[in-house]
Amino acid sequence: MPEKTHVPQGPRGPRGAPGGMKIDVAVLKRIMKLLFKSFPVLVPLTMACIVFSSITASAPAIFQQQVIADIQRFYESGDWAAASKVILPKIAILIGFYALSMASITLYTQLMAFITQGFLHKMRVRMFEGMQNLPVKYFDTHKHGDIMSYYTNDIDTLRELISRALPTLLQASIVVVSVFFIMIFYSVLMTLVVLAGVAAMFFVTKVVGGGSAKYFMRQQKSVAKTEGFIQEMMSGQKVIKVFNHEEKCKADFDRVNGELYNDSYRAHAYANVLGPIIQNIGNVLYVVIATIGGVLVLSGVPRFGISSLFYAGTALVTIDIMVPFLNMSKQFTGNVNQLSQQINVVAMGLAGAKRIFDIMDEQPEVDNGYVTLVNVETGAAGELKESDKRTGKWAWRHPHGDGTVTYTELKGDVTMEHVDFSYTEGKPVLFDVSVYANPGQKVAFVGATGAGKTTITNLINRFYDIADGKIRYDGINVNKIKKSDLRRSLGIVLQETNLFTGSVLDNIRYGRLDATDEECIAAAKLVGADDFITRLPDGYETALANNGSNLSQGQRQLIAIARAAVADPPVMILDEATSSIDTRTEAIVQRGMDKLMESRTVFVIAHRLSTVKNSDVIMVLDHGRIIERGSHEKLIADKGTYYQLYMGSFELE
Looking at the fold, whether 197 and 82 belong to one and the same domain comes out as yes
Q: 132 and 88, same structural domain?
A: yes
Q: Are residues 583 and 478 in the same domain?
A: yes
* Enclosing domain of residue 81: 24-360
> What is the structure's pLDDT at 629?
92
Q: Evaluate if residue 8 carries a pLDDT over 50.
A: no
Is the residue at 567 inside a domain? Answer: yes
What is the per-residue pLDDT for 40?
94
- CATH of residue 584's domain is 3.40.50.300
What's the confidence (pLDDT) of residue 592?
Answer: 64
The residues, ordered by sequence, that sit 6+ positions from 443 with a Cβ below 8 Å of its Cβ are: 435, 437, 601, 602, 603, 604, 615, 616, 617, 618, 619
Residue 440 sits in the same domain as residue 466: yes
- On whether residue 8 sits in a domain, the answer given is no
Per the domain annotation, does 79 fall within a domain?
yes
Q: Judge whether 176 lies within some domain.
A: yes
The total domain count for the chain is: 3
- Is there a single domain that holds both residue 136 and residue 43? yes
Write out pLDDT tens, residues 125-136. Answer: 999 988 888 888
State the chain's mean pLDDT as an integer: 82
Whether residue 225 has pLDDT greater than 60: yes
Q: Same domain for 382 and 491? A: no
Same domain, 104 and 204: yes
- Most confident among 19-23, 150-154, 610-614 (mean pLDDT): 150-154
Predicted confidence band at 3 (pLDDT cuts at 50, 70, 90)? Answer: very low
Q: Is residue 13 part of a domain?
A: no
The residue among 360, 395, 427 that closes a domain is 360
**Residue 562 placed within a domain:** yes
Residues 437 and 525 placed together within one structural domain of the fold: yes
Residue 299, pLDDT score = 80
Tell me how many degrees the CA angle 50-355-425 measures, rounded to the nearest 5.
160
Considering the domain architecture, whether residues 522 and 629 belong to the same structural domain is answered as: yes
Segment 560-574 shows an average pLDDT of 87
- Structure confidence at residue 13 as a pLDDT band (50, 70, 90): very low
Q: Are residues 396 and 419 in the same domain?
A: no
Is 469 inside a domain boundary?
Answer: yes
Are both 263 and 160 inside the same structural domain?
yes
Residue 34 has pLDDT above 90, yes or no: yes
* CATH classification at residue 152: 1.20.1560.10
Rounded alpha-carbon distances, angstroms, from residue 653 to 312, 579, 614 = 102, 11, 20
Q: Is 15's pLDDT higher than 50?
A: no
Q: Is 19 among the domain residues?
A: no
Q: Are residues 134 and 162 in the same domain?
A: yes
Least reliable range by pLDDT among 247-261, 447-461, 481-495, 576-590: 576-590
Task: Find the mean pLDDT for residues 93-113.
Answer: 86
Q: What is the pTM of this model?
A: 0.71
- Cβ-defined contacts of 126-135 (< 8 Å, 24+): 126/360, 127/151, 127/356, 127/359, 127/360, 130/359, 130/360, 130/362, 130/364, 131/359, 133/364, 133/365, 134/362, 134/364, 134/365, 135/364, 135/365, 135/366, 135/463, 135/464
pLDDT at 100 over 80: yes
